[in-house]
Amino acid sequence: MKKAVKIIGIGLAVVLVGIAGVLTFVKLGLPNVGEAPELKINPSAAQIERGRYLANHVNVCMDCHSSRDWSKFSGPPVAGTFGKGGDRFGPEMGFPGTFYARNITPAGIGEWTDGEIFRAISSGVKRDGSAIFPVMPHPAYGRMDQEDVKALVAYVRTLKPIQNTVPASEADFPMNFILNTIPQKPDFQKRPDTTNIVAYGKYLVNASACMDCHTKQEQGKPVEGMYMAGGRKFAMPGAVVTSANITPDAATGLGNWTKTAFIARFKSYDPASGYTPHSVKPGEKQSLMPWIMYAGMTEQDLGAMYEYLKTIKPVRNEVETFKAVALNQ
């Protein structure tokens, strides 16, 4: 009996040592995406403009890396805060920890090399080698064209420096270990020609990371068979907002939408066309989607996204996109 207990004890010790070894490797040996590339960008005006367009209207980097005015519909970025960071994503919103968007103005990452910024965008690894939680969808950005990523770096360098110290992000257990396994080496894709409208639309949908919000998730992973079918919930003061079904299902998605209607929905929120965000109180209908930023996309790009979305598998999924709740819930 004593011998059996001893054998079991030794076996348990081996297992525990093995687990400790794996956790130590995950914590200290990962992420492993390689060194930041030796990269020095000498941008042209066209490259900076491309980066500005992407950062403000496609990738919408300025959505999270600026202050958003949630007293207005869709939380438009506050003028003078572009890139200052500080947007918070906490447990009350369903995140496994508390994460903050970094200050990406020259006051925040001015000492980073172009290669370090490039790696952070496309692989999700900071200058110090630590992992970035994918509320910034770096897995999607790693499938972009390298030239578009370089354009983002070029544009970020032009932002007005804003002094703003952002708190450190803290992942809960076990995400503090899992997080290190998420960054991957990029799988860069060439941006398709605009004449290949479906492929070009797919590229833009990926760059916009539509799937992150419009695909239901369980334990941080997309639910199989629910690609773009909506249903992901986000808590806000006085409400729960749920992402819409944007598959081509006729009853619950975009099946009956025309391209003209799809484009018009976005453009209706374009300040360049006279839209002014209306005031919204807690509990009144609100949207997390940065409509005002996406509204700045060209009609050609919006149309290409529509054409791609019409090709994906229709999924029947009725979604209530907004539900008011008591403020003490």
Q: Domain check: are 243 and 122 in the same one?
A: no
Q: Among 7-16, 55-64, 307-316, whose mean pLDDT is lowest?
A: 7-16
The structure tokens listed for 238 are 């006085």
Determine the pLDDT at residue 102.
Answer: 96
Q: Domain check: are 101 and 150 in the same one?
A: yes
Q: Domain check: are 71 and 179 in the same one?
A: yes
Instruction: Write the pLDDT tens digit of every residue in 214-259.
Output: 999 987 789 999 999 999 999 888 899 999 999 999 999 999 999 9
Instruction: Write the pLDDT tens digit of every residue in 8-42.
Output: 555 454 444 444 443 444 444 547 899 999 999 99
Asked if residue 275 belongs to a domain, the reply is: yes
Q: How far is residue 292 CA from its own chain's centroid? A: 17
Domain boundary among 121, 156, 190: 190
Q: How far apart are CA 18 and CA 21, in angstroms?
A: 5
pLDDT reading at 204 higher than 50? yes
Strands 88-89 and 97-100: antiparallel
Q: What is the pTM of this model?
A: 0.90
Asked if residue 321 belongs to a domain, the reply is: yes
Q: Domain check: are 269 and 132 in the same one?
A: no
**Full residue range of the structural domain in which residue 269 is found:** 192-329
Q: Domain check: are 257 and 145 in the same one?
A: no
- φ, ψ at 236 (rounded to 5°): -135, 165
Instruction: Write the pLDDT tens digit of every residue in 171-180.
Output: 999 999 999 9
Q: How far apart are CA 119 and CA 123, in angstroms?
A: 5
Asked if residue 172 belongs to a domain, the reply is: yes
Asked if residue 223 belongs to a domain, the reply is: yes
Determine the pLDDT at residue 184.
Answer: 96
Q: Enumerate residues 6+ apart whose C-beta is below 8 A from 153.
A: 39, 41, 51, 114, 117, 118, 121
Are 136 and 124 in contact, with CB atoms under 8 Å apart? yes
Asked if residue 25 belongs to a domain, the reply is: no
Per-residue confidence at 46, pLDDT binned at 50, 70, 90? very high
- What share of the chain has pLDDT > 90, as a percent? 82
State the chain's mean pLDDT as an integer.
91
DSSP class of residue 77 equals B
Q: What residue has token string 């639910």?
A: 223
Q: Domain check: are 206 and 165 in the same one?
A: no
Determine the pLDDT at residue 237.
Answer: 85
Average pLDDT value for residue range 112-127: 98
Asked if residue 280 belongs to a domain, the reply is: yes
